[in-house]
Structure 1
Amino acid sequence: MNDEHTIDLYYPSAAYAQGGVLWWELTVAPGSHSKPFGDERKLAAYLAFHVGQGGRFTMRSLRSALGATVPNSAEHLNRRLRQLRTRDGWILQSQRDNAALAHDEYRVEKIGWHPGCGFPRPVDDKPSDSVRRHVHERDGWMCVVCGIGARELYDDEPGKTARLTLGHRVPGARLGKETTINDLQSECARCNEPMRDELPNPPTLEELMPGIRSMSQGDKRELLRRMELNRRPRTRVDEYYTRVRRLSESERARLMASLEDMVSS
């Protein structure tokens, strides 16, 4: 038995397409003579069968594994990985999500759809990027379930930062292109994934009114003010903290150095 065949035994049978070729080494789609096999499918299969859940990888390792089968562009690979996240249910952590990772390293937190998994690929009908940005801007780039902000560290999970996703106000409802902005809310990935189908439906006005009527006049005025603003009033520090969290790492470092000079002078 040669070395190449020994390496093949590392993969389960589902890692191979018809003809015994690994999914990520295909050049044309199965059953076709000319239709290219999609790069996202190749990436998904490689991550599922070679990297595995909990495994780590880099863009360089993906390029090395897929070789000339994908265009030589880091942005191309990034776009394909984003599609795996938004369409196919993958959760891929970077250093922003897990401080234990190197700056060019990723971790497979959850395996999504991939060739050989045994079920059809999800239909690509998620809300657009513009809708996603609008909802996050409206919600102040914070999870409406637990209140954590985008890229903030979880108190009970050292090193893990919050990643914002879209959730439906009515748990279990389908997120499709027909979903309106008013149906959506910002949720961190931790709140969105395990709780989506377990949270109760939003309260009705009839359920809230008795408690609101029993509030003091001062509390009623504050609630009215927040509803008029459509957000929780925040200090100037809160507002700038939300904005600076979206700076690049180099810009954050420059700002921190400037602030240290300002407060020490």
Structure 2
Amino acid sequence: MNFPDWRTSSAGTRTRAALWLASQIGEGGVFTKAQLREAFPGVEQIDRRMRDLRQDGWILSTYAQERSLAVDELRLVKIGGHVWEASYKSNVTRSASDRERRETLARDNFACAFCGIGAGETYTDDPARSGQLSVTWCGWAGPAGRYVTTCKRCRNPLAGNDSSGAAYEAAALLAPVEMRTLTEWIRVGHRTPQQIDKAWALVRLLSKADRDDLLTRLGPIP
């Protein structure tokens, strides 16, 4: 397919970013944010304009969703709507309604679907930071729906300093049942809530007095 030249196009930044991805990267291609910024020198918020393409069905994977990628890499999984075409009209909801936000948070047990952090909880590997949750467009209408609950750190995975080696070392310490759960999360691209997560999501909403009462009712653990 022939695309308009992203370098000479008079379209907006989002459209030019789409043309660059489609013509220079292609579906399945891997790139870095540094390459994107080099292609658009001096353009402010080019990263955000690229992410906005998810609202039109473009699927972009990061290290948070696809652990085979390096922390500074992204993959163009799917080219979505041809936003550069004059006749193109977006037919997607760009932001979650109040109802969709409530339903998404409840479905994800009021925790990040990728790392499991709850609002206000501190990260075990970074105690100085706490979870800040939001409901964002996930770019595809899969089993989890059109929206997903994410924390600020998972929305910006390139700010982290993790590596595939560290991830492997952590995974190797898991018990077999935990390993099966982890491999399933890797396959689906997000953290699937477990029954204990659902229970903890409800416990987090209790007052201290109610938590103490719950401990009494649960009794000694065999």
TM-score (norm 1): 0.41
* Structure whose alpha-carbon radius of gyration is higher: 1
Choose between structure 1 and 2 for higher RCO, CA contacts under 8 A separated by at least 6 residues.
Answer: 2
